[in-house]
Structure 1
Amino acid sequence: MMSFVSCAPRLARAALFAGLLLTVGLAAAPADDGLARVQQRVAQVPVLRGQFQQEKQVSGFRNPLRSQGSFLLAREQGVVWTTLKPFPSELVLTRDRIVSRQRDGGTRIEVDGRQQPALRSVNAMMFALMSGDVKALTGTFDVEVESPADRTWRMSLTPKSRALAQAFTSVQLRGDRYVREVEITEASGDRTHLVFSELSETPVRLTAEEAARFD
């Protein structure tokens, strides 16, 4: 993701990005036919690895901010975002905390989600998505789904809560077996576009080095 170096709101946005990616884990019985079709199409995997490219268009700036790197998603642990360009950094999200650090470990910023109500709510939503709690998804967002016959799908999420609506106005997702693209429109007018590629389900277990990155 982008280089996250200071404030909790920016880390909360990162947590939401990760939570949206984790919709690949939908597994509960949805109440909506559209969500049911998405459930049938997406992969149910314990570990997912891949690459990402992020483009953020900031209001008032002509050129977008671009970053790229890799991610590691583990259903039981959380998500590790490793930014390679333009500045190396790493963001680790678990159920109770968010850690931002330089790749060399020189700078480490940790936010305890249990002491930050906004972060706690975002993390709760993230893990609800990861565990397939569709009731939590529809309780947090107004959801519209398009699922044509070619096995692809599109999902539009509009936040219901005032807290999320103050940060985001809408979230668009596109995918097939996996989430392929996410576009987030913030209340400020800024837009973030994420594209995921080179997605892999193997190996199905974390290596020792990967597991250590969640510490």
Structure 2
Amino acid sequence: MTFCKRLLLTCLWGLCLPALAQAFDLQQLSDQLSRPEVIHGRFIQEKHLRALPQPLTSKGQFVLAKQHGLLWLLQAPLRQDYRITPKGIARRDAEGWQMLPGKSAGAEQNRLFLAVLQGDSSGLQRDFELKLQGSAQDWHLQLIPRSLLLQQIFTRIDIDGGNLVQRIQLLEAQGDRTVLILQDGTSAQPLSDAEQHDFAE
């Protein structure tokens, strides 16, 4: 479940949302963030647990391809590669990519992730109340869960960014908090041969 939450957080920048009458509205944000075909970048994730004085930190790289899915390449504190496509979530081991079994909450979060990635606003509109503030270069989006399942996991999701998403914070129902910082995001680089191969397997 934790990994699925992280994936949902990492991929929210592809969302496609309904328009509202304001200076910078949700439709404009959707158009802006869903424009890139491929995004490469680095991430730092901090898991703030009530029982620990310091957050648990992990780092790595990601590749988001609108037509394929997401490669989530964890590099520290351990190395582990994940791939998320319409078929589900896979983890790489010595024998190649292995599909992970779906569970109820994880499957629901994966469904939401795919809706975000594919620009399908119907699931997001049903499951979240959306509040946007700011401008195209400096905006803040708040997602408040409507569905009972998501209310059991999140109290709120906060997303901040400019041309691309820069920071995502997940406030969890039990009081823990996850912060995901996305760095050096670029849409100028196409998929490499190795990345295309990873998505094709």
What TM-score do the two structures reach when normalised by structure 2?
0.87
Q: Deviations over 1:19-42 (max 9, x none)?
A: 32433xx3x7x2323312423543
Instruction: Return the offset for 1:199.
Output: 1.1
Deviations along 1:112-167, one digit per CA (max 9) or x if unpaired, are 44xx443333222222212322333221101111024x631100001111111111
For residues 97 and 133 of structure 1, what CA distance do their matches in structure 2 show? 17
Spell out the pairing of 1:1-215 with structure 2 (5 A cutoff). 9-23=1-15, 26=16, 30-33=18-21, 34-39=25-30, 41-42=32-33, 44-101=35-92, 105=94, 110-113=99-102, 116-148=103-135, 151-204=137-190, 206-214=191-199, 215=201
Count residues in correspondence.
Answer: 197
Runs of at least 4 residues off by over 4 Å: 106-109
3-state DSSP of counterpart to 2:78: coil
Q: Could you tell me whether the CA contact under 8 Å between 2:14 and 2:30 is conserved in 1?
A: no
SS state of the match for residue 11, structure 2?
A: helix
Gaps of at least 5 residues in structure 2 are: none
Contact 2:74 2:81 in 1 (8 A): yes
Offset from partner CA, 1:53-96 (integer Å, 9 cap, x none): 11110111101011111100011211111111111111211112
Q: TM-score, normalised by structure 1?
A: 0.81
Instruction: Give the Cα separation in 2 of the matches to 1:174 and 1:94.
Output: 25
Structure number with higher strand proportion: 2
Q: Which whole-Å CA distance do the structure 1 matches of 2:101 and 2:9 have between them?
A: 18
